[in-house]
Amino acid sequence: MGVGLSVFSEWEKALTLYGWLLNNFFTDILFSSGIVLAVMIVVLISVWSSAASGDDVAHATQRRLELRTLIVVLVLLFAFFPIFKIDEVQVLDLSGECQQYGKHVAFEEMTVYEDLRQELIADTDNVKIPLLWALIHKIGAGIYYRIFDGLDCFTDWRAVETIIRTNKIQDPAVLDEYRRFASKCYGQARYQYQKRGYQGSGTPPTANDLAYLGGSYYLNTPGYYDAFLLPTRLQRWQPNLVRNCLTWWQGDAANKGLREILLEQATHQLPSVEAAQIARLGAGDVEDRIIKAMLKSHPPQLIAPDAIDPTKTAGIALNKSAAAYVSGSGLSGLSEKVSALFNRTYFSTRVISYIQPIILSALYFFLPLFLLLSGLNLTGVLYFVALLSGIQAMPTIYAVVAALDAKVTKSLYDGIGLFNVNMDRLIIAHAFSYLPLLLAVAYAAALILAIKTAVPRYLNHRL
């Protein structure tokens, strides 16, 4: 006789089968070595001796012993011995019609350890499971699936922001062109400003504007990008002897500028069409912030400039400090802490779907030992049910909290405008990062407390 189980990813499927495979092996060792029989005898003797030493009458002693024997047998049959073969483990489809990044954040497919997953399921054709745990597994998976599938579609803006903050240029050709621009155009412009200083009647440029390759001061001030002619043509452009750094950055009617190419690199990896559209179609300042975040991972090694300056053609050594500012990395300490916090909270929401199956697999393995140490008691079984249910519910709790966080975030900030971080967002992100864990622990603790309170009263009443 076989049973079917339901899981939420191939990774969970592999670890579920492997955990019960280890459980079968461990249970066989405990039974064949006589440990199970020895525990049964010790439990029944302890019941008999405790009753005999008291004032119970004979029939009460016999009744207590019979009930304890029945409980031991039921625990062994339904919770200890793996009797039912696992015929199939179904991976539930959580994609549905909502493909936006974040709706299924808690159950994202594990693909990094594909070789390990295949190795885990190599010898799992005849894995068995006790009836009680098969029922608990199916009931829990069904409930959590319905809860999770009922969530509204949303975009996890915190995850999107983290991806942008940790993005890197993947195309070697784009990376090479970016480094050439930094050397031939930005480096020369940076040095020229340091040498000449601000020349104008308006407000001087900010440090962040000067630190960015596409800073408005370099783009709009005569004598900077518009005056630097390229000594060699770009391979992706048609020959043009009068093309300057300004055209290289902004593009022209026939060619994409470096800014647009960098923006494509920064947004094409976003797993949400909505997020990518907001990033691409947002205000120019938003787009430049996205580019800055990506370029922070690629500070170029600035050397003597070789762009053609109409007034100065000789190469002059650059101030090495320019490299630290090239991608807009002059962030304050608070901004760095906020960025690290986003990474941590993002990591916590992602890693739970990977760690939870590992914890469950370990629980399946230690289940026989737990039941024996609890004296094959009904209370021990119920404790384990509560523990298993709490851990099984954690991804769904994370998904619910992520959905709530997305709604709150979107009401506070408009989509990708999360880059305008302030203390309110810091507090919200910090609170939501711990809320799922607290809810899962509270859920399991409440179940255990209810069992600890209700079961002894029930048994005492019946006996």
Tens-place pLDDT, residues 369-428:
888 888 888 888 888 888 888 788 777 777 777 667 666 666 655 544 444 433 344 334
Number of separate domains in the chain: 2
Q: Give me the sign of the Cα torsion angle 233, 238, 242, 247.
A: negative
Q: What is the pLDDT of residue 263?
A: 84
SS3 7: strand
What is the DSSP secondary-structure string of 227-272? G-B-SS--TTS---TT-BHHHHHHB-SSSB-HHHHHHHHHHTT-S-
- Regarding whether 43 and 184 lie in a shared domain, the answer is no
- Tell me the sheet residues that pair with 256: 251
Task: Give the Cα separation of 317 and 65 in Å (integer).
Answer: 92
Q: What's the helix, strand, coil split of the chain in %, to 5? A: 65, 5, 30
Q: Which domain holds residue 117?
A: 2-156+339-462
Same domain, 83 and 31: yes
What confidence tens digit (pLDDT) does each residue in 253-312 have? 777 888 888 888 877 766 554 555 554 444 456 677 778 878 887 776 665 444 444 334
Is pLDDT at 53 greater than 70 in this prediction? no
For range 168-188, the mean pLDDT: 85
Q: What is the tens place of the pLDDT at every residue in 7-27?
A: 877 778 888 888 888 889 899
Rounded Cα–Cα distance for residues 14 and 337 (Å) = 37
Of residues 98 and 136, more confidence is placed in 136
Q: What residue has token string 């079968």?
A: 24
270 vs 93, 102, 135, 263, 379, CA distance in Å? Answer: 22, 11, 39, 12, 49
375 and 451 belong to one structural domain:
yes
189, 100: one domain: no
Q: How many CA atoms lie within 13 A of 200 on its CB side?
A: 12
Pairing of strands 128-129, 84-91: antiparallel
Asked whether residue 203 falls in the same domain as residue 279, the answer is: yes
- Reported as a single tens digit per residue, the pLDDT across 336-373 is 444 444 444 455 555 667 788 888 889 999 999 888 88
- Residues whose CB is less than 8 angstroms from the CB of residue 247 and which lie 6 or more positions away in sequence, other chains included: 257
CA–CA gap between residue 462 and residue 308 (Å, rounded): 95
pLDDT at 425 (0 to 100): 42
- 135 and 52 fall within a common domain: yes
Strand partners, 84: 129
Verify that 249 and 274 share a domain, yes or no: yes
Round to whole Å and give the CA distance between 382 and 451. 7
Question: Same structural domain for residues 73 and 90?
Answer: yes
Q: Are 323 and 206 in contact (CB under 8 A)?
A: no
Position with higher pLDDT, 434 vs 176: 176
- Whether the per-residue pLDDT at 187 is higher than 70: the answer is yes
> What pTM, to 2 d.p., does this model score?
0.56
Asked whether residue 386 falls in the same domain as residue 275, the answer is: no
pLDDT tops 80 at residue 136: yes
pLDDT confidence band for 321 (50 / 70 / 90):
very low
| Residues above pLDDT 70, as percent of the chain | 54
Is the same domain home to 307 and 167? yes
Give yes or no: residues 125 and 273 share one domain.
no
68, 71, 73, 79: CA torsion to nearest 10? -150
Which of 331, 363, 378 corresponds to the end of one domain?
A: 331
- Which range among 137-146, 150-159, 291-300 shows the weakest confidence by mean pLDDT? 150-159
**Which has the closest alpha carbon to 289: 221, 209, 405?**
209
What whole-number percentage of the chain has pLDDT above 90? 1
pLDDT tens digits, 55-69? 555 556 667 777 778
Please give the Cα distance from 47 to 69 (Å, whole number): 9
Question: Which of 331, 350, 374 represents a domain boundary (last residue)?
Answer: 331
Domain identity same for 385 and 305: no
Which of 315, 331, 347 marks a domain boundary? 331
